[in-house]
Amino acid sequence: MELPKMPSFSLKDRSALIVGASSGIGTACAVALAEHGAKVTLAARRKDKLKIISHEMEKKEFEVKIIELDINDIKKTSDTISKLETFDILVNSAGIAKHSSALSTLSHDFDLVTNTNLRGAYFLTQSVAKKIISERKKGSLINISSQMGLVGGHERAVYCASKHAVEGFTKSMAIEFGNHNIRVNTICPTFILTDLTKETFEIPKNRKWIEQKIKIGRIGKVEDIMGAVVYLASDASSLVTGSSLLVDGGWTAG
């Protein structure tokens, strides 16, 4: 009898583009992929922040590059991707939230959120997929979605709409790109403590609501996403596509 062999989590000789890498979950994903052997390219609007992060990563002898990228500019993003190396892995962590009641939502805020979270994410994923297909390579494309892509939330109608849409195009792209050996998935975190979210946790009623909903009994950390992104990027998940990997502490289970 021959025992099954565990698929590898190694990302050696693979290249990864991490968008939204200048803070929080994006930075954590970049570090996780680099620790498992990937050559990483950090992308974001804030190039100054990327320089600081890349300098720290280079101290650990990670192979890292940086590029300035704003996924709201569809044409420039597409042109930039077409001129770069062909990436084996995409992690899109670029996102924005503008919370308000549904009755008080402003069209400006609606456009701001959906342009980044949906429109930008869609065409970024498309651009990377086109390059992989043209080179006849295989790939793993990962969008950082949210638990709010699967449920609703108070004062989060626009954000939920954008993330539900990400879940939708992920499934459709997974179907279309499967025969090109490209997998497309999302990671759906609960509330993660970052520099961008700390204001939410500083409001007592908000923190209480979050802590009550997370069944595991604690707030999420960026480290909680690191294992998930390595799994989806690696051969360990070679049959996983069109899926949503929930990292929500049991929020949606209830």
Q: What local confidence, expressed as pLDDT, does residue 217 receive?
A: 85
Cα-based angle 163, 127, 39 (whole degrees, multiple of 5): 95
pLDDT of the residue at 205: 85
pLDDT at 159: 96
In the chain, where are the structural domains located?
15-247
pLDDT value at position 229? 98
Q: Which residues 6+ apart lie within 8 Å of 177 measured at CB?
A: 129, 133, 141, 183, 184
What local confidence, expressed as pLDDT, does residue 154 receive? 86
The per-residue pLDDT for 196 is 77
Out of 159, 177, 231, 251, pick the active-site residue.
Answer: 159
What's the pLDDT score for residue 202? 85
**Topology of the domain comprising 15-247:** Rossmann fold (3.40.50)
Told to judge if 122 belongs to the known catalytic residues of this protein, a careful annotator would answer: no
pLDDT confidence of residue 9: 98
Residue 1's contacts (CB-CB under 8 Å, 6 or more residues apart) are none
* 141 three-class SS: strand
Q: How far is CA 214 from CA 18, 189, 225, in A?
A: 27, 11, 15
pLDDT value at position 70?
97
pLDDT attached to residue 99: 87
Flag residues of the chain having pLDDT under 70: none
**Cβ atoms within 10 A of the Cβ of 179, count?**
7
The Cα-based distances of 51 to 43, 92, 139 in angstroms read 10, 19, 27
pLDDT score at 189:
97
